[in-house]
A and B are shown apart, each in its own frame.
Chain A
Amino acid sequence: MLEPRFQTGDRVKVIKAAPLGHVRTPWYVRGQVGVIERLCGKFGNPEELAYARSGEPKQPLYRVRFAQTELWPDYAGKPGDVVEVEIFQHWLEQA
């Protein structure tokens, strides 16, 4: 069982990678910096489960909040607008 490395409020960067196979990290947040909104719990790794493997060890899953204006340089909304995305711990590093 993996222990959570981040807590609410931590700044994190999503790893910029393009592994083959079933991945639940959307392209538009790869390489982007966000803030941990909450820890959701620990869940089987979907990149393993998709191929009928055990999904162990379970990965901590976080909700990460990104500023829209950082994701999209030409964002037309308000500076405070955000997107929150669920991201597994192995896709995150300290920012």
Chain B
Amino acid sequence: MGIPEELGKYRPLSYFQMMEVSLRELLVEKGVVSEAEMAQAMQEIRARGPERGAKMVARAWLDPAYKERMLANGSQAAEELGFEVPGLKLIVVANTPAVHNVIVCTLCSCYPRMLLGLPPDWYKSHAYRRRVVREPRAVLAEFGTEISEAVTIRVHDSTADMRYMVLPLRPAGTEGWSEEQLAGLVTRDSLIGVKTANNP
């Protein structure tokens, strides 16, 4: 294994990168946070995946009362499972045999990071943000998700203070599965709505 090629390339910092570095160094210099705390926080953010969102979905598949609470108040449902979501106003939208939901932020890249981890690069791309509100069926087809003409598509544009997560349909053939087994079928992309949950 050699050194990744991009490490050897020099790129000048952009204006906002420079601002970030300056602010971070000032915070350390003034003792507000330490380098170690900063590194630890960055590591935790990078390591976080969609496991929390997946666990909420698996619980909702098993417990209709939890599902009802989750659709009424997503943030409270997250906290109920011990997931701290400070400041996150979560709306969970449920797929049904008649409705398929998909999430976007056309203005930037709003995403429930506390529950799903960092957003994939394509979620932040202009192509996804521009196209999924305009031709959602074509975009979903490019993800390999064919939505029947009989199913309505609801695109959720996360433009302000809310964050969204899709509750995908429970795959057939999972009767009697445990919460942990079910959570293993729930992918990041199914929580964004560009795919369905994995089949067993």
Q: Name the interface residues of B62-105: CB closer than 8 Å to any CB of A.
A: 89, 91
Contact yes or no, B137 A40, CB < 8 A = no
Contact with B along A22-65 (1 / 0, CB 8 A): 00111010000000000011010010000000000000010100
Contact yes or no, A40 B155, CB < 8 A = no
A76: Cβ under 8 A from any B Cβ: yes
Count of residues in B whose CB is under 8 Å from the partner chain: 23
| Closest Cβ neighbor of B99 among chain A residues | A80
**Most chain A beta carbons < 10 A, residue from B154, B156, B159:** B159
B106: Cβ under 8 A from any A Cβ: yes
B135: Cβ under 8 A from any A Cβ: yes
A41-B89, A76-B138 are contacts. A82–B154 as well, Cβ < 8 Å? yes
B136: Cβ under 8 A from any A Cβ: yes
> B39 — which chain A residues lie within 8 A by C-beta?
none
Contact yes or no, A83 B155, CB < 8 A = yes
Q: Which positions in A face B, CB cutoff 8 Å?
A: 24-26, 28, 40-41, 43, 46, 61, 63, 68, 71-72, 75-78, 80-88
